[in-house]
Amino acid sequence: MEFRVGFGYDVHQLKEGIPFWLGGIKIEHTKGSLGHSDGDALIHAICDALLGAANLGDIGLHFPDTDPTLKGIDSKLLLKKCVELIKKEGYGIGNIDTTICLQKPKVKELIPKMRESLAEVMGIDQSQVSIKATTTEKLGFVGKEKGLAAYAVVLIKKI
């Protein structure tokens, strides 16, 4: 059985007065994640990890921010498409491990909902999706609440 590993990373600016989507769910907060799509940095990191593992490029190649049809798109649709792309190459998801770097809001209590949402979109069991959250102890752009970062590692396997 062939296994492959992929890594994804995404950063988005936080801005007042826009919706905040993270891990496929809408979070109540005064700031939201700025992006061409809905700005869901966690999903974008997972997409990059999946595409990278299957040697299919990155999210910008498949869903460029210059495409007006993608303006404001629900990132769950992008994730679903990435899963279809790796399946077309003969791969299935083994597991996904992610980390969200965010000073505020605290998202620990929301992680089960995120896992449920992401697993449903990808057609996998929640036990295959790990989400962790951390702050940067008020250091850097994350600590100053100017943005957030998300990291993802995936294991895919030939099916």
pLDDT tens digits, residue range 70-104? 999 999 999 999 999 999 999 999 999 999 999 99
Q: What is 3-158's CATH number?
A: 3.30.1330.50
CA distance 116 to 55: 27
**115: helix, coil or strand?**
helix
CA distance 60 to 67: 10
Annotated binding-site positions: 10-12, 36-37, 44, 58-60, 63-67, 134-137, 141, 144
Annotated binding-site positions for a divalent metal cation: 10, 12, 44
As a whole number of Å, the end-to-end CA separation of the chain is 8
**102: helix, coil or strand?**
coil
Which tens digit of pLDDT belongs to each residue from 102-148? 999 999 999 999 999 999 999 999 999 999 999 999 999 999 999 99
**151: helix, coil or strand?**
strand
CA-derived radius of gyration, the chain:
15
pTM of this prediction exceeds 0.85: yes
Domain boundaries, the chain: 3-158
